[in-house]
Structure 1
Amino acid sequence: MKIIRRLSLIVLLFVICLGAFVYFFLRSQGMFREPQYDQDRPTDLKVKMPAVLVFDKTNGFIHKDAIPAANEMLSQLAKKNGWSLYHTDNAAVHNVEDLSKFQTVIWNNVSGDVLTEPQRQAFKAYLSNGGGFVALHASGGDPKYAWDWYVKDLIKAQFKGHPLFPQKQSGTLVVESPDDPIVAHLPSRWVMDDEWYSFDKSPRPGVEVLLSIDETSYSPKMAGTDISMGSDHPMIWKHCLGNGRALYSALGHYAEIYRDMNYSRLVEQSIIWASGKSGAPCKASVAN
């Protein structure tokens, strides 16, 4: 009996230690935090047209490798195209006056609930009045949102999971709009390694899907749970929102993706489209 009690105690201590390790590891990645909301506007905002806002606040999981890699890519694209780029993690930049200075707003792996109600309303007004929006990876991949409009009207789909064991897998992306400048440079079937998001449903109808993924090319299981979407599994799509333009890319968990020339060009063309410099004009056909 003493041996059994000792073994039980050892097992219990192991479980406690393992649980503590997992908790503190996840906390170091940004989990289990109370949201922090910004109230004071940035004081150093000086841009000239054409201007691009890059926003990367995290109140949830922190993509510690992807965020700086994406910021570096975006800085290079700004320099190449002559964009005046302003980067911040201060959510208070989402106000009517400051947003009016930008043609496009890019959310770089934003996570968690980040905007106050006045900031939400300013952002909605910016988009409906003709602003552009590009959301990268985690910006549409949080398991739970406090802002239904963001999911239902802006992103158009709810993230439900990604593969685990293994998390990083080779997958085949299928170009669905080969004549669109955003993806025209890609092969019809583009093979790359990433963490592949699944959603509760397809964002169709109401969006133009640029890239989807062939689920037969990887294993859409999350720790044994089937998270497949079937034959309609979009990964990058765009749509109009009022007079504004919105594009979401589920790609980009790993830093090397932002160093891939094919993806860099895709994001570049996405920003150009979102800013209204390519494609047909959007019309105010979607309710605010």
Structure 2
Amino acid sequence: MLKTLAMIAMLAVAQAPGDPHLPAKVMDRDAPTLPAGLKGAVLIVSKTNGWRHFEHIPHSNVVLGEIAGTLGRKSFTTENAAVFNDRDLRHFAVVVLNSASGAFMTSGQQAALERFVARGGGVAALHAAGDDSHKEPWYDATIIGTTFIGHPGGDDHIQSAKVVVAQPQHPVMAGVPREWMLRDEWYSFSGNPAARGMTVLAQVDEASYRPGAKLAMGAAHPVMWVNSHAKGRVFYSALGHEPEAYDDPNVHRVLTNAIRWAAR
């Protein structure tokens, strides 16, 4: 009887679903088949080998595809990182890394993305595409320029806070108010990416929410910036944990501007 109960318990554990935030890590080897007619298109990649934001990814992928359409560009959405190869990337003007996390590219795939940016291709990296699961030196230096150190947890995990535009003349900030309130998960970083050559476009006002002593960055707490030195145009936004953020008119405007700007 005890042996039977033990076997039942083991089977129950084996069948118990894992944490959907932590899916199995998979390295893709076979590239997806692209639809015909892609030229100057928007590639939306939400590949997850780290923390998976399953709450927002389905909705935000749809919104990003709709934004591409309003810009007169076709889009292709995938979670297959093998799309990062020279042949396929030539169909796209910009790559959107939509909370793509973890080590989701092989060395060859990252090298293809590096060449894409080097020949002028754009990148818009969103939310978890800038978390601390990205360890590659090129990615760190070119896409992020700082290190994610955490966000408030517990009852303070999601808070309303004031976003303040720091570069209102930049094309990505066109039509965006100088200040607005947004409910989100607020990332903190080890330092200001401006110290490594990035141009900060917007900050979060720490007086408008509770970052916690260990996560406070002071008056300069960046949440959106661009790499002004890459040959291709590179944008990063820490915003976007909540699905509703992608329906916020100001976030939607920023994403539209960023994809247009990055795609030239």
TM-superposed CA distance for 1:72, in Å, is 1.4
Cα distance, 1:228 vs structure 2: 1.0
Cα deviation 1:225-283 (Å, max 9, x = unaligned): 6211111111000114542110000000000000112211110100011012xxxxxxx
Distance 1:153 1:50, change over 3 A: closer
* Counterpart residue type for residue 269 of structure 1: N
Q: Deviations over 1:139-187 (max 9, x none)?
A: 112x333412212332111111001121011111111111223223222
Do the aligned partners of residues 125 and 44 (structure 1) sit closer, same or farther apart at CA in structure 2, a change above 3 Å counting? closer
Using the alignment, how far apart are the partners of 1:204 and 1:29 within structure 2?
35
- Between the aligned partners of 1:243 and 1:231, the Cα distance in structure 2 is 30
Quote the offset at 1:34 in angstroms. Answer: 5.1
In the alignment, what sits opposite 2:148? 159
Structure 2 unaligned residues grouped into runs of 5+? 1-12
Letter in 2 for 1:213: V
Structure 2 CA distance for aligned equivalents of residues 241 and 63 of structure 1: 30
Residues 115-126 of structure 1 aligned to structure 2 (within 5 Å): 115-126=105-116
Percent identity at matched positions? 38
Q: Which residue of 1 aligns with 2:10?
A: none
Equivalences for 1:9-158 in 2 at 5 Å? 27-31=18-22, 35-141=25-131, 143-158=132-147
For residues 23-55 of structure 1, what are the alpha-carbon distances to aligned partners after superposition, in whole Å with 9 as ceiling and x for unaligned? x88x42333x55210011112343433311000
Q: For 2:40 and 2:139, how far apart are their aligned partners in 1?
A: 25
Does the alignment pair 1:256 with 2:247?
no
Unmatched segments (≥5 aa) in structure 1: 1-20, 277-288
Amino acid at match of 1:73: V
Tell me, what secondary structure is at the counterpart of 2:138?
helix
Alignment: residue pair count: 248
> How far 1:69 sits from its partner (Å)?
1.5
* Matched AA of 1:30: H
Whole-Å separation in 1 of the counterparts to 2:126 and 2:202: 14
TM-score, structure 1 length as denominator? Answer: 0.81
Q: Distance in 1 between matches of 2:33 and 2:136?
A: 27
Residue in structure 2 matched with residue 215 of structure 1 by the alignment:
206
Q: Which amino acid aligns with 2:20?
A: Q
Q: Is the 8 A contact 2:120 2:233 kept in 1?
A: yes
> RMSD in angstroms over aligned alpha carbons?
1.8
Shift of 1:213: 0.9
AA in 1 matched with 2:147: Q
Contact 1:171 1:191 in 2 (8 A): yes
Instruction: Determine which structure has more spread, i.e. the larger CA radius of gyration.
Output: 1
In 1, the alpha carbon distance for the partners of 2:144 and 2:204 equals 18
Instruction: Give the letter aligned to residue 189 of structure 2.
Output: F
> Are the structure 2 counterparts of residues 248 and 242 from structure 1 closer, same or farther at C-alpha, using a change threshold of 3 Å?
closer
Does the 8 Å contact 1:30/1:58 carry over to 2? Answer: no
Equivalent residues of 1:37, 1:91 under 8 A apart:
yes
User: 250, 260, 263: which one pairs with 1:272?
Assistant: 260
Distance 1:157 1:45 in 2: 36
d(CA) in 2 for partners of 1:44 and 1:162?
Answer: 37
Q: How does 1:156-195 map to 2 (within 5 A)?
A: 156-165=145-154, 166-195=156-185
Q: 2: CA distance between counterparts of 1:242 and 1:208?
A: 12
Contact 1:154–1:241 (Cα < 8 Å) also in 2: no
TM-score, normalised to structure 2, is 0.88
Q: Structure 2 counterpart of 1:69, which letter?
A: H
